[in-house]
């Protein structure tokens, strides 16, 4: 089944680099957008290239990725949302970024809920995890709105993450009774 998830207003799909790259690069060039991704340092072209390559590798290997978050009405890329393996834990991680102009509208929560449902109902996952830097209160609020529970502070090394030096908060949600909790 192709990786494409829809809500009433959003679509989450694999990247179409030729058309999606400008919107993605505009996000990664914004120091405020990148404050929790790279300490506010804009990404280089090489970092953007590696992101797209990593998402394609993840899609090929796992059937999911951190894909394009698209506003259905205009087909505009307004962020990033998706699922990916969480390091070497064997769990899937849900994640999102939403362009600043679209923040505060519930879009991260809507995208996150759709991804958690997809993980439970389509991929038959027993649980879904999420991580963020401890100071990212907006993402932590979204995780809590999704019904995720705080599990503690962990390092990238503990997760088998590609960035072993990071320290993040870990949240999780379990599928209950064959139904999603979101």
Q: Report pLDDT for 37.
A: 87
- Of 57, 51, 4, residue with least CA distance to 24: 51
Q: Report pLDDT for 164.
A: 87
Question: pLDDT class for 177, splitting at 50, 70, 90?
Answer: low
Check pLDDT > 90 for residue 8. yes
DSSP line for 33-80: TTTTTSTTPPPPHHHHHHHHHHHHHHHHHHS--EEEEEETTTTEEEEE
Our CA dihedral for 64, 66, 67, 69, rounded to 10 degrees, sits at 130
3-state class (DSSP) for residue 87: coil
Q: What is the pTM of this model?
A: 0.92
Q: What would the pLDDT profile of 150-175 be if each residue is shown by its tens digit? A: 999 999 899 998 888 889 999 999 99
Record the tokens describing residue 21, joined without a space.
């790259």
DSSP line for 125-144: -SEEEEEE-TT-HHHHHHHH
Q: Report pLDDT for 176.
A: 83
Q: What would the pLDDT profile of 50-104 be if each residue is shown by its tens digit? A: 999 999 999 999 999 999 999 999 999 999 999 999 999 999 999 999 999 999 9
Contact 50, 38 (CB under 8 A): no
């Amino acid at each position: 089944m192709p990786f494409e998830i829809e809500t009433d207003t959003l679509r989450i799909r694999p990247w179409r680099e030729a058309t999606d790259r400008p919107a993605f690069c505009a996000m990664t060039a914004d120091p405020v957008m990148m404050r929790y991704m790279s300490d506010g340092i804009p990404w280089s072209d090489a970092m953007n290239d590696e992101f797209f390559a990593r998402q394609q590798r993840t899609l090929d290997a796992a059937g999911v990725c951190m894909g394009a978050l698209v506003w259905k009405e205009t087909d505009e890329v307004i962020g990033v949302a998706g699922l990916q393996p969480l390091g070497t834990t064997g769990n899937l991680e849900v994640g999102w970024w939403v362009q600043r102009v679209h923040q505060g509208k519930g879009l991260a929560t809507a995208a996150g809920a759709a991804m958690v449902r997809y993980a439970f109902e389509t991929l038959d996952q027993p649980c879904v995890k999420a991580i963020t830097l401890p100071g990212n209160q907006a993402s932590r609020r979204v995780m809590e709105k999704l019904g995720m529970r705080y599990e503690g502070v962990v390092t990238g090394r503990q997760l088998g993450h590609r960035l072993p030096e990071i320290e993040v908060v870990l949240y999780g949600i379990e599928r209950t009774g064959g139904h999603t909790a979101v």
